Homo-oligomer: A and B are copies of this chain.
Amino acid sequence: MTENSSLLAEFPTCPRDVQDRPRVFTSASGAYVTDKSGFCWIDFDNARGSIVLGHGDPRVVEAVGRAATGADGTATGWSPRVDAVLERLHALCGGEVVGLFRSGTAAVRAAGLAVREATGRPLLVSAGYHGYDPMWYPSDAPLVPNADGVVDFFFDLGLLAELLAAPERVAAVVVSPDHMHLSAAWYRELRQLCSAAGVVLIADEVKVGLRYSPGLSTAELLNPDVWVVAKGMANGHAVSAVGGPRALLRPLKEVSFTSFFEPTILAAADAVLSRVATGEPQRALREAGDRFLCHARKALQDAALPVEIAGDGTFFQFVPASEELEYAFYAAANTEGLLFYAGDNQGVSAAFDDAVLTDAEQRFTRVCDRLSAYAGGEPVDEAARYRVAWNVMDGLREAERDRAATDGMLARLLDD
């Protein structure tokens, strides 16, 4: 076998070496992944947050292995597992109807187009990343819709208010929630703006859904009309879901795809959803993440390194004071075998037990030791916070600013 990254048409998001070549992993177990040299990493990436229970979770493995034999049903048609997964999603996230898809990208696109067709309104007003589909590509200028009728408000509620000044043109506001850089007050104002304008609110919880709690992370903050979840559903297996009112999702009736009933994916989803419904994996990973964060913040402080950490144990993000320090930080982490999602959110899994955490803490202390050249540097400033938040949100962090400041920030960050 050669490493055929040059044969791949895509440039997938995944851990990469300093030459930007994908790192090649040969196995994974619990909180650890092993690369082809035999080096053992602690996985804070977890397939960009999809692995909630840890690699090779025994109950998921058993369910998938059994389903693969045909013992639970067939890709040819409906099975009791379809009912089970639909019921679990309905119980956790609500919605009169639920649709199943194969990727977050497919689910958010389907939700957006369904609401557009159901409302007969042309525009989707968006904030955050909604998958790789070209429909979400940037327009030529801020506040101008792109060719697919999508216009971004970059999480700035002032811009949103402007865009909602003609609500009869807006099919929906589509937001990918973030809980590292936006407060509860921000979400309440978002909900108020949508309600006042009478515009449908779609929560794209592909990333955060089910990871924070047994259900939508914005259930109380936003009470979204339509929801999308994916990463929290099946421990990395390929499935996503949309839910909401029958009237808004009626156009999904036309959706039909062949691998709909694939038994191993449904088995994984059923096994994972039964666990996340208890809240236990979310509590476990939050506690593990919080313990790690407590250590990491102290280690950074002890080493006088200007690196803040945004978020909490569920999802957190390192905020280094400069791009140079950021580069050095992730390089040092790689040397010590801490597999971070470079520049983005870190997500531990429920497999981070005491032994893993002790190992991770010792590695992190050594990372700080390696960065002694940066000790006592200039502290993290607002520009650094905006830059790092932009990397994870595709938009502006919450902060006091007027329209001129917003325009300036957008010009700078869109240009990067």
Contact = CB atoms under 8 A, between A and B. Distances in A.
A256 B132 contact: yes
A61 to B, nearest CB: 5
Nearest to A111: B9
Contact of A55 (B2, B70, B230, B260): B70
Contacts of A262: 236-238
A289 to B, nearest CB: 17
Interface string A73-84: 111111110111
Nearest to A148: B148
Interface string A100-137: 10111110010001000100000000000001111000
A36 B5 CA distance: 45
A225 to B, nearest CB: 14
Number of chain A interface residues as a range: 35 or more
A26 interface: yes
A7 B70 contact: no
A257 interface: yes
A70 B238 contact: no
Given A56-B70, A97-B7, A264-B64, A87 B1 contact: yes
Copies of this chain, count: 2
Interface in A194-240: 230-231, 236-238
A8 interface: yes
Contact of A255 (B76, B100, B132, B254): B132
A176 interface: no
Given A14-B76, A60-B68, A72-B27, A252 B9 contact: yes
A19 interface: no
Contacts of A256: 10-13, 132
Contacts of A255: 9-12, 132
A259 interface: yes
Interface string A19-61: 0001111111100010010000001011111110001100011
A102 B260 CA distance: 11
A131 B99 CA distance: 16
Contacts of A230: 258
> Which of A249, A261, A264 counts the most chain B CB atoms within 10 A?
A264
A33 B98 contact: no
Contact of A24 (B12, B78, B100, B252): B78
Given A43-B74, A50-B259, 7 more contacts: A9-B250, A9-B255, A10-B260, A47-B74, A56-B70, A113-B134, A264-B264
